[in-house]
Structure 1
């Protein structure tokens, strides 16, 4: 194998690499030098293939028999055999066919666009209430008070969970998803305890369904629908854990970055104020520019050539979605520029980026995420006028989710008329 040509760069699966935001320029240099690179990882002592080419990522994603999610999990960390046994057995995201196909069929039958769209009115009501709570103050901590609220409320609404439990889930998912950040989770034990709380809650939901079946999403996941057999209790508990963690944090992250990008580009924000009908298009650019999940792992299952390199069976492989989404050969010479009008001149933008992955593990929650993001932006943009940063943007320390943990902002206080 060739030596890593980027020894002077930070390790791209080291959480510290993203602690100050996305290293756009370094990623551009790597991307421009080729689609596949052999990288060292001194923190784990396990080198890996870094894949930044879209064609290569698409090929990997569509050939699970060659590039396994199950052999070592989709996360970049290293696990003991005991940990892997648990992860492999239960988490849908870490499954290969045929087990993965069964789980995916159950979820797909429940999270259809039609089913999700039926919640739009309720989601919009939640979004308006979220903005109502901060609009007259002229300031807020955007991440926790705005961006985090609708994704949590939406997931709880879908699962029939009381909204007053959302603060527990907010802290639990922070600890699970950002366990590499000492401000979000004290240590790995705290993350494990948070996971236990969510699992315990899921078991309670399953027991409640057993006693009093309801015609909701939880009921559909457990009993099945459209000819699909539902999850057993163990399968449901582990799916619920993934749904709560990934479904919440991903949309919260894109909403936070979307607001950051609009404030950094006030002319584009003003364009959307003047043209609210273009907000949906702008949301697709937000998804492209700062995708929530940075990377995913696969394990090479047989010797194979990829991107001009010879990969060996057992090699660790990392797909870097964020870099693909800035590829000039796909998105044009201005690919590294945030542009809310990109979808208007590139109508297939939603198909071109890889913010939701592709292939067998394409995100089944993509429609839900797009709906939540659009609704929030349609409520935020007309009402939080002239927003400005009121302090530094603080990013989460982690290589899985490209999150923002603190973003205080100010804006023109909303004054309601006496007639209102």
Structure 2
């Protein structure tokens, strides 16, 4: 890679064996902002590795745009960009706030709390389905279930269509992993199918209005302006992927970490009241989204580093979430008791981002994680790996592909 001693952090192969934490530590030590080459795309970028600089970029959208070349870290073909700029993740102020206000109502803490009994019932049923077998493939059988059911419930999608959505989201998310035998074209086709589905839901809502998330989106207006049907459809795709894939990933990675640290798992078995706070350490340690992109809109600085107008800036959330200056010298250690030592951990990690693009579904994700881990930890006893867990090769989503486990039924 020429003079740069580090791997390309935008190469899927860098993540083939999971998150390269030792290398991320070396990157943090090398400086908060590092110039990186990308031989795959030939577009160099600035990698932001420490939290202070990540926060600065995230909180200054006028200088560091999500809209200009999208917030996704990969290079998107020019003809696709105008379409994807309609997604809220790829918007800058002031238009971003308009859309955020429409959707926020469905995700307030009070709204989300009201979902707990339904989520709890789903989580019990998910564990019931595997408990007598003494084994399962954790990613699909457990981790993927609740987030998908939850977001599809909120979006008014009938249970019969869930399997189809599971397949569509996999195809969209895993398009850059060669093992998943999907391609970019198939990823786009899957997105198109979801958009068609969303269109049909919008038509049904006109005929028979529902008081669900679809209703909130279609009926909501800011300054008298409602979403167009096309805008609604793009919202639907983003909610589906953001609300489903991210929580699935954190659940699977969290279970893996607990199994790799059996003393910590036992601590939570003995102290189930600590499960909720432990999920914050799981979120910090293995965040769902690895990287996002911003584009410099003017010549500027990040820290002491000069950045030129048009430069690609990549925020590495895992790197920042292990920043020793914030989380202490043991930042690279997974420790479910960390929130007891650091009660504001939930506010210090960046698993949900920061600034205007702070994850709108953070309350929902936290509820799902708590409910799911409370069921799994208290009921699947002495879990063991049946074989080596497999990670998705992706520099965007920190997903797990497969994790076969055995356990004793409670």
| Same fold at TM > 0.5 | yes
Distance 1:340 1:243 in 2: 29
TM-score (ref. length: structure 2)? 0.97
> Is residue 271 from structure 1 mapped to residue 267 from structure 2 by the alignment?
yes
Indicate the residue corresponding to 2:398 in structure 1.
Answer: 402
> Is residue 166 from structure 1 mapped to residue 150 from structure 2 by the alignment?
no
* CA RMSD, Structure 1 to Structure 2 (Å): 1.4
TM-score (ref. length: structure 1)? 0.95
Matches within 5 A, 1:265-414: 265-414=261-410
Q: Once the 2 structures are TM-superposed, how far is the Cα of residue 98 of structure 1 from its aligned partner?
A: 1.5
Q: Once the 2 structures are TM-superposed, how far is the Cα of residue 29 of structure 1 from its aligned partner?
A: 0.4
Matches within 5 A, 1:4-403: 7-88=4-85, 90-224=86-220, 229-403=225-399
User: Runs ≥4 in structure 1, deviation > 6 angstroms?
Assistant: 225-228
- Greater CA drift, 182-191 or 333-342: 182-191
Q: Once the 2 structures are TM-superposed, how far is the Cα of residue 227 of structure 1 from its aligned partner?
A: 8.1
SS of residue matched to 2:405: strand
1:101-130: CA deviation from partner (whole Å, max 9, x where unpaired): 111111112211111111110000000000
Relative distance call for 1:164 and 1:382 in structure 2 (3 A) is same
Relative distance call for 1:228 and 1:288 in structure 2 (3 A) is farther
SS of residue matched to 1:238: helix
1:56-107: CA deviation from partner (whole Å, max 9, x where unpaired): 111111111100001100112223321112112x111001112111111111
Distance 1:379 1:413 in 2: 12
Distance 1:177 1:282 in 2: 27
Q: Is the 8 A contact 1:109 1:228 kept in 2?
A: no
Relative distance call for 1:207 and 1:283 in structure 2 (3 A) is same
Indicate the residue corresponding to 1:418 in structure 2.
Answer: none
SS of residue matched to 2:180: coil
Instruction: Name stretches of at least 5 consecutive residues in structure 2 with no aligned partner.
Output: none
Q: Is the 8 A contact 2:57 2:302 kept in 1?
A: no
Q: Once the 2 structures are TM-superposed, how far is the Cα of residue 218 of structure 1 from its aligned partner?
A: 1.1
Q: Is the 8 A contact 1:106 1:228 kept in 2?
A: no
Distance 1:216 1:232 in 2: 18
